[in-house]
Structures are given as structure tokens and as C-alpha cells.
Amino acid sequence: MYPLELVRPMAKDLTDFGFKSLSSSTEVDEAMAAQTGTAMVVVNSVCGCAAANARPGAKMALGHGKTPDQLYTVFAGVDQEATERVREYLLPYPPSSPSIALFKDGKLVHFLERHHIEGR
């Protein structure tokens, strides 16, 4: 678990851009159950590849004509319960943070794992 004062700016980077932060398994289940259309879920983290690539990349992806209907985020190492629940929706992929998932009508259609996000 990371100190909130350390991660708050990292979480705010996405919530200020319109992502809804999910902090419990109940919130995750409610968001997934209510989902129609498309959703982007970002598993945020404190690592450098989240700061350099994942968060900026997620925000840049929204700068085009077609964007997901819902935007959600959980913070690995902070929102442990929510992160574990999101990862259940991401199976069969192993836990990966940061990561970015795209869902359509509640079904996972694309997943970017950490190794896709890390700088080269």
C-alpha cells in the first residue's frame, strides 16, 4: 500500500480527465454490470511506465472522434480490492500493472499489458 499523498496526483491525472475511480469490488461489479457500449479500464500504478506511457497514452487515445462510452480506473497497490476484482474481468490475462483494457457490452475485447506499455 502506498501513501495516499504520494499517489493522489497520479490518480488525479486520470480522474481530472474524466475517468471514474473505482475503489471497491462492489463499485467494479456495479460498473461492469451497468455497462452498455464501450468502456476503457486503466489499471494505474506508481511505476515509471505508468507515468511516461500508460496515463498519457490513455488520455491521448481519447483525443479522437471515437471514444469509449465509460472510463474507469483502479490503482494497483492502493485500491487493492477493486484491482483484484478488475483482474477477474481481465482473465485469462495475468495481473499486469499498468494495463489498459477495452470492453464492449461487458466483454473484454482488447488488453494492453505492461510489456506492451513499457518504453523500449
> Which active-site residues does the annotation give?
47, 49
Question: Residues 82, 24: contact at Cβ < 8 Å?
Answer: yes
Answer yes or no: are the C-beta atoms of 58 and 117 closer than 8 Å: no
Q: Strand 20-21 vs strand 70-75: parallel, antiparallel, or unpaired?
A: parallel
